[in-house]
Chain A
Amino acid sequence: MTAAAEDDVAIEPPRAETPLRRFLADFFASRLATVGLVLLLAVIFIALFAPWISPQNPYDLAALDLLDGRLPPGSQSADGLTYWLGTDDQGRDMLSAIFYGLRTSLAVGALSAVFALALGTALGLLAAYVGGRTESLIMRLVDLQLSFPAILVALILLALLGQGIDKIILALVVVQWAYFARTVRASALVERRKEYVEAARCLALGDARIMLHHLLPNCLPPLIVVMTVQVAHAIALEATLSFLGIGLPITEPSLGLLIANGFEYMMSGKYWISFFPGVALLIAIVAINLVGDRLRDVLNPRLQR
């Protein structure tokens, strides 16, 4: 269905309504969502190209000058570089630090959500397709997982595992997989009874093929929505844990660590070290949530005209 729609758009412009075009028109009908998407693309661009667009390499100690420490926004360095967002205690340009921080935060959020998506989807599909004892075991695990606050689970895991980028991703995956599993199972249970699945069965296709090629594509819309929500959630949780000093190590400076670093200077009125990384974090999360909210509305079959 998507392939056909894309062909149609690519070849010529007959104003025929295709699912993709209707989807895009629906999405951009909301000005707020459009703004969210533009912001999100900007954030992704910055994260991807941080090393090339940053005024300074914030983690090259040779480039830093301790004498430039804690300068307010707009100050000039000795060699003519303007610190638009000020500097931190080590004379690091905050703008560059934020660009690099966005890179780390976004990478951790997206990676953990992708892993959680894979794990949760596999288990959710399995539960819905196989049923019986497998299903009740998986769903019992989901219920158990969801009954504990996310931060408590993350706290337990990080207390056990220690610090590190791999450990925090693992903790975030454990926190998130249950949402995906629950979502996939719910829609797969409905889809499973439809005729096309029966038809696939009559063709004697293998179980794996029916699950992945027939059931999964039809469960995608709600999954995409959950995915956006969970990426935002993962970014916020990672920042929180890093702020508490139990998330990422100091060698992988995410936005949460930058904010924690500026916290001690807050009392003396040097607001910019904490404030601007927080704004960047906020923009990233709000942009993802705006896009996700709109996707939820557009993809919801109950609201479709």
Chain B
Amino acid sequence: MTVFILRRLMQSAVVLMVMSALVFVGVFAIGNPVDILISPQADQAEIARATAALGLDKPLWEQYFIFVVNALHGNLGISFVFNEPALRLIAERLPATLELAFSAIVISVVLGLPLGLYVGLKPDTAVSRTIAAGSILGFSLPTFWVGIMLIMVFAVELGWLPSTGRGATVSVLGVDLSILTWDGLKHLLLPAINLALSRIALVIRLTASGTREVVHMDYVKFARAKGLSQRRVIGVHVLKNILIPIVTVLGLETGAVIAFSVVTETIFAWPGIGRLIISSITVLDRPVIVAYLMMTVLLVILINLAVDVLYSLLDPRVRYGEARA
């Protein structure tokens, strides 16, 4: 197990290294940030001074070298626009994004699991067919359009829920959270549902197909024959066995949820890292773009690693298979 984790960590480091070079060189190739940051009336000397101040007059390899050295010291550059360390900008906004992503995943499990179980246990009822058709729709609906429609119905027409921002926040251990205040919760609800939608559909599908396979297994029949209650058979014997793929897929989806929050944050003006990256791309704030991409790539790599480890802990068969190999 330790060897496995070590090997995966080394691979991750290599991937991160390659990505950093790609992103850095690529970001370097787009536009000239000086053109955007400085007033059009500036003369040649002023432009040269601004270029030198941003370190853009050095050759590319030197810039990359400085970037890597600084990155290893925890410094991913100073934002051209905010004049603040890019990493701090991201760290300030990360809790908002994580809160949103976490809420979305909780919603998708809380709604998806029971609905999926129902479809799996009684596949031929009208309700099941409706749920299954709904899950196809959940896959097909583009997130951003659903978000707009949610705003139209619940914020504009009905006026029940706010459509922008985080609302009131409470500071817990130095981290601002919306979920703990009534106002914040109201602000969180629409974006979280929006982000959760396609994952609800995913959980329904996984649960339904898993359940349909498992209910015909001998151990389930045996549990029934023992006279266990329906609740215990479903809750323990069925659920335990279908949970492994669901946990794995949801774990892997966490990275996608964080990446996809770009869309939801833009629509609901949620002050997380997703909105930061979109505005940074439009104004060519290179350090922030690089820092965001590196952070997200790192996050995805770590999540994938954690899921792999979790998977082998949950399913003894995987561990044994590995020991033999």
Contacts and interface: CB of A to CB of B under 8 A. Distances in A.
A151 interface: yes
Given A160-B30, A289-B140, A293-B136, A244 B278 contact: yes
Interface in B102-122: none
Contact of A148 (B157, B255, B282, B289): B255
B67 interface: no
Given A152-B296, A244-B266, A245-B278, A286 B144 contact: no
Contact of B156 (A236, A267, A293): A267
B152 interface: yes
Contacts of B301: 147
B80 to A, nearest CB: 15
Interface in B235-258: 252, 255-256, 258
A202 interface: no
A57 B208 CA distance: 48
Interface string A245-262: 110000000001001000
A155 B26 CA distance: 12
B260 interface: yes
A282 interface: yes
Contact of A278 (B145, B258, B259, B293): B145
A240 interface: yes
B219 interface: no
B48 interface: no
B297 interface: yes
Nearest to A156: B293
Given A152-B300, A159-B30, A245-B278, A271 B152 contact: yes
B190 interface: no
A144 B30 contact: no
Contacts of B140: 232, 236, 282, 285-286, 289
A281 B145 contact: yes
* Interface bin, chain A: 35 or more
A266 B277 contact: no
A239 interface: yes
Interface in B212-233: none
A252 B289 CA distance: 26
Nearest to B144: A243
Interface in B87-138: 136-137
Contacts of A147: 252, 300-301, 304
B52 interface: no
A13 interface: no
Interface in A121-165: 144, 147-152, 155-156, 158-162
Nearest to B304: A147
A286 B263 contact: no
B139 A240 contact: no
A172 B266 CA distance: 21
A78 B2 CA distance: 76
B203 interface: no
A240 B136 contact: no
B141 interface: yes
A144 B15 contact: yes
B144 A259 contact: yes
Contacts of A240: 142-144, 263
Interface in B274-325: 277-278, 281-282, 289, 293, 296-297, 300-301, 304
Contacts of B281: 155, 158-159, 246
A115 interface: no
B187 to A, nearest CB: 16
Contacts of A245: 278, 282
Contacts of A275: 149, 152
B97 to A, nearest CB: 13
Interface string A261-290: 001001101010011001001100110011
A151 B142 contact: no
Contact of A160 (B23, B144, B277): B23
A222 B163 CA distance: 42
A278 B258 CA distance: 24
A266 B136 contact: no
Interface string B145-172: 1001101100011000001000000000
A244 B296 CA distance: 18
A122 to B, nearest CB: 23
B259 A266 contact: no
B27 A274 contact: no
29 contacts: A147-B252, A147-B300, A147-B301, A148-B255, A149-B255, A150-B256, A151-B256, A151-B262, A151-B263, A152-B296, A159-B27, A159-B30, A160-B27, A160-B30, A161-B26, A236-B142, A239-B145, A240-B142, A246-B281, A263-B148, A266-B152, A266-B156, A267-B151, A275-B149, A278-B142, A278-B145, A285-B140, A285-B141, A286-B136
Of all A-B residue pairs in the complex, the 9 with the closest CB atoms, nearest first, are A160-B26, A149-B256, A152-B259, A149-B259, A278-B145, A285-B140, A286-B140, A236-B142, A243-B144
Given A156-B293, A271-B156, A286-B140, 14 more contacts: A147-B300, A148-B297, A149-B256, A149-B260, A150-B256, A151-B262, A152-B296, A160-B27, A161-B30, A239-B145, A240-B144, A271-B152, A278-B148, A282-B145
